[in-house]
Structure 1
C-alpha cells in the first residue's frame, strides 16, 4: 500500500482499534488460479506477550483454506470510515480556486501466515468468541447454548477455522492532514452536514483543530 508520510499510522493501539471497529476484512490469497479475495469477519486476538492473530471461519466448501500449504503468506484488508471531499467545502477554493476533489479514508493491511484449523475445540472457541463479541450490544445476547446441541454439531461439520499469525500491520489515515486548518474545518463541516459524522470525527482526531 502506498503510504505518504503524513498519512502513515503506526500506533499499534490505533491499528487494533480500526480492525476491531470494522471487522469485515478482505482476505487476499494466491493460489494456482491466481489471486483470490474473500470477505470474512475476523476477530483480533492481541493478547499481551503472545503473537497477534486474526481468527475466523469459512464454509468447508470454500476453497480458500486449501489454496496453499498451511503457513502460506496472505493479506487481509480492513477499511474503516471513508467519504468524498468536495473542493467547494474548502475556504481556500474561494480565494484561489486551486483545490480539487479527493477521497478520505482509513485502512489497515494485515500481513501474516494462514493456517486452516479443522479441530472441533478450536472451532467452538472461535464461534463462541465471535458470538460474544458481536452479540454484546444486543439487549438479550444470543449464545451458542441457545441452539440445540445436535444442530451446532452438524454445523461444525460444514465449517473450517482460519488462524492468521500477523507478521506486519500497515495503516493509512488519509484525512486532509496536509491542508490548512481552515480547509480541514471546512471539510469537516461539509461532511457533518452530509451525515458523514464518523469521518468528520476521524479528521478531528488525526489533526485536532
Structure 2
C-alpha cells in the first residue's frame, strides 16, 4: 500500500499506540497524539510515563493507528435467511507504521511539536486557539512534563475489513443493523 493513500486516514485519526521493546525485552505501549510529517510520525507522551525512558534511540517501533471498529451480527445478513451459513465477525480499519524511534527530551523540539499539533486541531475552528495565546512562561511550564518521540517510517501496512467480502444485500443489512443499534455505519461498512 502506498503511504500517500493512507495519510488521510492517519491525519483524521491523529492518534496512535506507540509500541516499543526495551533492552530488557519487555514491550511498552502508549497512546499518543501524532502528526505524520514526511517520513516521520511525531508525538509526545508524559514525562511521568516511564515508557520514554525505556526507548532505545534508533530501535524498531510500531505505531498502530486504529479507526472505527464494530461487532457485526450474522443476524443482519440477508443471506442468513437464504442458507443460514453465516457467522459473527468484526469490521475495522487500522494502519501499522513501522520504523526506528528516537526520543526528544528537548523543550524547544517539544514546544514546536505542541504548536504544530495545536495548529492542526484548532485550524478548523471559527476562532482557533494558538499556543502563542498563552503566556510564554505558562507554556514553558506545561511543556516540561512531556517528552517528544519521532518514528522514522520505513513501512506502512493498512488493513480494512468493512464487509467488502459480503453481497450488497448483506452490507445493506449490516448498515441497517448498525443504524438500529444507534451507530453510524458510514465508516464501518464499505459502500
TM-score between the two structures when normalised by the length of structure 1: 0.83
Is it true that 1:111 corresponds to 2:98 in the alignment? yes
- Distance, in Å, in 2 between the alignment partners of 1:59 and 1:175 is 34
Q: Distance in 2 between matches of 1:99 and 1:11?
A: 33
* Alpha-carbon contact 1:132-1:143 (below 8 Å) kept: yes
Report SS of the residue matched to 2:80: helix
Report deviation, 1:190: 2.0
Equivalent residue runs for 1:1-209 within 5 Å:
10-31=1-22, 32=24, 34-46=26-38, 52-197=39-184, 199-201=185-187, 203-204=189-190, 208=191
Q: Distance in 1 between matches of 2:163 and 2:45?
A: 37
SS in 1 for 2:119: helix
Which contiguous aligned blocks of 4+ residues in structure 1 show a shift greater than 6 angstroms?
Answer: none
Q: In 1, are the aligned partners of 2:91 and 2:188 still within 8 Å (CA)?
A: no
Instruction: Give how far 1:102 is off.
Output: 1.0
Helix, strand or coil at the partner of 1:55: strand
Aligned-residue Cα RMSD (Å) equals 1.8
Encode CA deviations 1:160-180: one digit per residue, 9 max, x unaligned: 211111111111101112222
For 1:36 and 1:123, the matched residues in 2 are separated by 21
Provide closer, same or farther for how the CA distance between residues 151 and 196 of structure 1 changes in structure 2, counting only shifts above 3 A: same
Shift of 1:202: 5.0
Shift of 1:111: 0.6
Q: Structure 1 pair 188/11, CA: closer, same or farther in 2 (3 Å)? A: farther
Question: Shift of the alpha carbon at 1:33?
Answer: 5.8
How far residue 34 of structure 1 moved from its aligned partner, in angstroms, is 0.7
The answer on whether the counterparts of 1:191 and 1:200 sit within 8 Å (CA) in structure 2 is no
Q: What is the aligned length?
A: 190
Please state how far the C-alpha of 1:35 moved relative to its aligned partner: 1.0
- The Cα of 1:64 is off from its aligned counterpart by 2.0
